[in-house]
């Protein structure tokens, strides 16, 4: 008896994700691109500021808020490439960023910081943007490593975004390939300095504050 070879049965394509993403992009583009802070909080602060002597209170509460913000920055657990290994090492017990109040959190909805750790491909960029959009304001981005900064060694590849700042606004760039946990920790401390100045100037700082 002859055994017949199996005939391949390949299921028909079901592809919906691209359409979903396009709808998401459309929704996101319709959303107004406003300030990073809550409008209601800003309105209350403005009202108090215009009371007699209210500015003292507003300034001190802003200081308090910024202290709270800068000492509980929760990064979203989002690793892209080999930099993510160094990021994990930074989160782990030897380097322990938890003493700065940073808890790696597995949900963008409760996070303040996105560490873009690795190469961002053109196919990945919409997903990265989507995660960034899911994070509540105010939010910050640390670009970690050469790939996220500028494309790095893959800059001349056909598929790599030449710097994650073409996708999301970046606050701190950490150089290195990959950066050591020390470098990343230095970047995170710089970010804390930036966050401590948030709202005093009314907008985010364009470069890290010196001194």
List binders of another protein among 148-177 (CB under 8 A).
156-162, 166-167
Applying CB under 8 A, which of residues 1, 8, 33, 34 lies at the interface with another protein? 8
Q: Evaluate whether 69 touches 198 at the Cβ level (below 8 Å).
A: yes
Q: How far is the CB of 14 from another protein (least distance, A)?
A: 11
Report the nearest approach of another protein to the CB of residue 170 (Å): 14
Please return the burial class of 124, using the count of CB atoms within 10 Å of its CB with bins 0-12, 13-18 and 19+.
middle
Our finding on whether 136 is near another protein (CB under 8 A) is: no
Encoding tokens for residue 48? 């108090």
Residue 103 binds another protein (CB under 8 A): no
Between 58 and 167, CB nearer to another protein: 167
Query: Helix, strand or coil for residue 66?
Result: helix
Contacts (Cβ under 8 Å, ≥6 apart) of 57: 48
- With CB under 8 A as the contact rule, the residue among 7, 26, 32, 106 that binds another protein is 7
Q: What is the CB neighbour count within 10 angstroms for residue 143?
A: 26
Is 15 near another protein (CB under 8 A)?
Answer: yes
Q: Hey, how many other C-beta atoms are within 10 angstroms of the C-beta on 84? A: 19
Residues 114/78, Cβ–Cβ less than 8 Å:
yes
Among 1, 3, 4, 6, binds another protein (CB under 8 A): 6
* Site string (182-201) toward another protein, x via CB under 8 A: --------------------
Could you say whether residue 123 binds another protein (CB under 8 A)?
yes
In the DSSP assignment, the letter for residue 184 is H
């Amino acid at each position: 008896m002859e055994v017949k070879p199996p005939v391949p049965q390949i299921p028909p394509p079901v592809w919906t994700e691209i359409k979903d993403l396009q709808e998401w992009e459309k929704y996101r583009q319709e959303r107004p691109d406003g300030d990073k802070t809550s409008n209601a909080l800003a309105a209350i602060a403005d009202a108090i500021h215009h009371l007699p002597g209210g500015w003292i209170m507003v300034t001190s509460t802003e200081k308090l808020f910024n202290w709270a913000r800068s000492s509980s920055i929760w990064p979203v657990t989002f690793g892209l490439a080999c930099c993510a290994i160094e990021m994990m090492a930074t989160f782990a017990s030897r380097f322990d960023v938890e003493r700065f109040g940073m808890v790696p959190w597995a949900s963008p909805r409760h996070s303040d910081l996105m560490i873009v750790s690795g190469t961002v491909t053109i196919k990945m960029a919409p997903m990265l943007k989507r995660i960034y959009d899911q994070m509540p304001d105010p939010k910050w981005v640390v670009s970690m490593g050469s790939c996220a900064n500028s494309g790095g060694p893959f800059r001349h590849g056909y598929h790599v975004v030449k710097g994650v700042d073409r996708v999301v606004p970046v606050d701190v760039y950490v150089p290195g390939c990959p950066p050591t946990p020390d470098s990343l920790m230095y970047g995170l401390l710089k970010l804390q300095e930036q966050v401590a100045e948030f709202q005093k100037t009314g907008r985010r700082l364009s470069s890290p504050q010196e001194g």
